Each structure stands twice: as C-alpha cells, then as structure tokens.
C-alpha cells in the first residue's frame, strides 16, 4: 500500500468513525429481523401522491411501506416499534447532480461507455450533507462539459463503498449542447450528431456481420462493450439527460430528439424560459437550473424584466424537477428551492412534487420512491415542522426502513450550532 492509498484508507476509516452515530451503511442492518415492524405516528403526513393527512400512521416492514393513512384506519401491531414525529414525508430525490465525483467532467468529448460509478468518492462530505438535508436518492451523472458523457448511476447517500450506495445502474446517458473544448454552438451540435451517425454505421455493420455469420452457422458477434450503452439509448432501454444552456439549444435539442426518437429529459440553464411552450408541445420533462430567477433587459422600455423559471414552466404545463446547488448556501437545500417556487406562485403540491415524486419519475424510480405509498421503499423524512418553513429541521431520515440519520447524533451540526465539539466525539 503506497502513501496515497494509506491516506485514503485512513480518511475512510476516520469518517466512518465520525459518522457512526449519524449515517450508517444499510449493510449494517442485514441481521435485523425482516418481520420487525416500525410505526411512525405523525401529526401530519405529506404523502405527495395524495392529500395531506392529520394524525397519520406509516407502517414499515422489511424496508418497505406496508400501510399509510389516518391513525383511525391503520392499526399499529402491539409488537411494533413506535416513533413519534411532527411531520413525515418521503425523502427528497435529486435527479441530476455531479456531487461526490472526483472529476465531474470527462476530458474526452464522446465517451458513451464510461460510468460515474468509477469516479465517485463515497466518503465525500457532500453525501453526508445530502443526508442531513433530507435527500435519500440521487442520480450522480456527468457534468455539462461534454458531448456524450457516458452514464450515471443512482445511489442512496449512505454506505462506505459505491456498491453499498448503489440503487440502480445504469442511470441515464449524459448529453450536452453546451459549447465546450473550444467548440462553438454549431460544432458542438455537429459532434453530437456525428456520435450518433458513427453508432448507426457501427450498428449496420454489426447487423450485416451477424447476418453473414448466421448463414454460415457461426456464433453471433457480441456487441462491442463500448457501444452497449448507445445501443440501449437508441433502442429506448435507456434515457438521456440532455443539457441545454439557452433557448437556442433547446430548439435544436427538440429537433434532435425528434429525429433520433430517443427518450430524453432536458436539463436547462437559467436562460431557457422562452421555450417553455415548445417544450410542452414536444411532451418533454425538464430539470430546472438551481438559479430559479433570471432577468432580461427590455431595451424598448428601458427596464429589467424578471422571469421565474418554475412559474414559467408550471404555467406552460411542463413537468419539472428542481435541482440543488451543493456549494451554494441557500439553494443547496431542495426545500429552499421548493419554498422559493411557492413564494413566486407555484402551487405547494407542485413544488413539493418537484423535489420528490417528479424527479423519481425522471430517473425511472417512481415505483420505489418519491411518495408515501404501500409497497414503496421506506425512504422517509421526519421533520420538526412544515417542509417549506425556514425554521424546520430534518430530524430523522429513514432509508429503506432503517434509521440512517438522527439530528441529535449529528456531531458536525451540533458543533456548528454550539461552537463546541461533544465530549464523546473526541
């Protein structure tokens, strides 16, 4: 083991010890009885998939939600462990993020065969922050400085290794129309088209070779592993997240998507508000930029015009998910993003859905997470108050039924609030 490896190993062990009372690997719970029942009794339940419930109960068994409803209609088994809460809701979901990666952007512009699984540091403090902030599911995907950036993976923010964190692999393919690497808007689009043309050429050649081999009674040629993800994308087994920095790229993206007939979610920059109607007409969903408010200069009237991104897309009828900015003081919180949207006129239910069930749908996990429903993973937040209130804290986080975070045991948070390090942390 060289010095670099020793340092990394020591860092992992140190963080694991630090987080032992706060953020536990799900593997640590494998020995727990699957028949054990946890009952969460909350003054308010926010299911997302339905109306809010006063005095509600959630029953959890084997990592799954088995019942949700008013206390009067959900009896609690006598042997259940009962947890009291002010507010309970599903864990939030981040559909598009590069947090936790050693290098969020690929150096080579067209690399459909790479995966973010190879570039994630599972002990990066950003995952601890995500858990503390109530994020229970994340798609970690390449940054925007690419053309075809490979595939992301979907993780939970707990676990000492990527394998422990993994929820789904692959996630989506990352594509981008943001000029990078010295390319212009036109050459960026041209390189994206050329990548698909090159794959079409490869696929036609493969089909011809397979047909020839079949006639000769020879084994079928396997697809080149470097082309497998592109094949899944073209055949509709994989979705693409396509970044558009401005309205110009949005229009080009719509034309490209329609021509290629691929499944796409548009990831938008802050200047993409004018094309909300075109996106709605194309039937596409979007992930909005963390910067939710942008200004435009109206030179005719000599004034600045404000545009509220979530409100523009809500009015246009576009399904949208909100994105956090992990390094920003306010917008690192998905709850803050949702509260900001509501303050500008987006309905509360839509805003809460945009950080839970909608992003779960965009990454293909709506059957498992994003709402409080029987049969789904028990990814649940217990809050000290309303999720959109500024004074509310995430008090506990359950991931697949296991307590993954408890605020009273959050050493970093307690030191930040009190200025003192708890004695038992030394």
pLDDT digits (tens, 9 = 90+) for 151-181: 999 999 999 999 999 999 999 999 999 998 8
Q: What is the DSSP string of 107-140?
A: SSSB-TT-BGGGSB-TT-HHHHHHHHTTEEEEEE
**Is residue 21 pLDDT above 50, yes or no?**
no
Cis peptide leading into 141, omega within 30 of 0? no
Helix axes 247-260, 185-215, angle to 10 degrees: 10
Q: How far apart are CA 65 and CA 228, in angstroms?
A: 35
**Averaged over 214-243, what is the pLDDT?**
95
**Is residue 265 pLDDT above 60, yes or no?**
yes
| Burial class (CB within 10 angstroms; exposed 0-12, middle 13-18, buried 19+) of 227 | middle
pLDDT digits (tens, 9 = 90+) for 297-339: 776 777 788 899 999 999 999 999 999 998 888 889 999 999 9
pLDDT digits (tens, 9 = 90+) for 98-143: 999 988 887 889 999 999 999 999 999 999 999 999 999 999 999 9
**Averaged over 83-94, what is the pLDDT?**
98
In order of their start, the domains of the chain are 23-91+376-409 (2.30.40.10), 95-180+223-362 (3.20.20.140)
Minimal CA–CA distance to 242: which of 262, 270, 226? Answer: 262
The model's confidence at residue 226, banded by pLDDT at 50, 70 and 90, is very high
| Burial state string for 77-93 with b = 16 or more CB within 10 A and e = fewer than 16 | eeebeebebebbbbbbb
The model's pTM:
0.88
pLDDT score of 106:
78
> Is 380 within 8 Å of 38 (Cβ atoms)?
no
pLDDT score of 222:
93
pLDDT score of 30:
46
Work out the number of other CB atoms within 10 angstroms of the CB of residue 424.
8
Tokens of 54: 């006063």
pLDDT score of 424:
56
């Amino acid at each position: 083991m060289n010095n670099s490896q020793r340092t990394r190993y020591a860092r992992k062990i140190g963080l694991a010890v630090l987080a032992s009372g706060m953020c536990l690997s799900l593997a640590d719970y494998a020995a727990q009885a699957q028949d054990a029942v946890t009952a969460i009794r909350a003054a308010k339940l926010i299911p997302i998939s339905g109306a809010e419930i006063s005095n509600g109960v959630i029953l959890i068994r084997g990592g799954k939600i088995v019942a949700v409803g008013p206390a009067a209609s959900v009896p609690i088994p006598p042997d259940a462990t009962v947890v009291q809460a002010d507010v309970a809701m599903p864990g939030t979901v981040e559909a598009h993020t590069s947090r936790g990666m050693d290098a969020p952007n690929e150096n080579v512009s067209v690399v459909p065969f790479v995966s973010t699984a190879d570039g994630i540091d599972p002990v990066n403090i950003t995952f601890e922050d995500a858990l503390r902030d109530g994020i229970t599911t994340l798609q970690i995907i390449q940054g925007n400085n690419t053309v075809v950036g490979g595939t992301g993976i979907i993780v939970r923010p707990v676990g000492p290794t990527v394998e422990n964190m993994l929820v789904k692999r692959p996630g989506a393919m990352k594509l981008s129309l943001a000029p990078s690497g010295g390319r212009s808007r036109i050459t960026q689009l041209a390189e994206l088209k050329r990548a698909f043309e090159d794959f079409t050429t490869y696929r036609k050649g493969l089909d011809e070779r397979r047909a020839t081999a079949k006639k000769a009674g020879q084994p079928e040629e396997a697809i080149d592993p470097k082309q497998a993800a592109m094949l899944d994308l073209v055949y509709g087994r994989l979705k693409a997240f396509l970044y558009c920095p401005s309205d110009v790229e949005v229009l080009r993206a719509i034309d490209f998507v329609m021509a290629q007939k691929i499944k796409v979610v548009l990831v938008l920059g802050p200047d993409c508000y004018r094309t909300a109607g075109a996106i709605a007409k194309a039937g596409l969903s979007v992930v909005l930029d963390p910067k939710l408010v942008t200004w435009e200069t109206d030179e005719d009237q000599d004034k600045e015009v404000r545009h509220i991104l979530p409100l523009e897309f809500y009015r246009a009828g576009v399904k949208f998910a909100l994105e956090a900015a992990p390094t920003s003081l306010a917008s690192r919180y998905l709850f803050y993003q949702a509260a900001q949207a509501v303050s500008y006129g987006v309905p509360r239910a839509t805003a809460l859905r945009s950080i839970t069930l909608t992003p779960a749908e965009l990454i293909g996990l709506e059957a498992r997470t994003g709402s409080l429903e029987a049969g789904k993973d028990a990814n649940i937040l217990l809050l000290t108050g309303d999720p959109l209130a500024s004074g509310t804290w995430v008090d506990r986080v359950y991931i697949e039924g296991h307590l993954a975070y408890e605020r009273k045991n959050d050493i970093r948070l307690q030191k930040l609030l009190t200025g003192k390090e708890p004695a038992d942390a030394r």
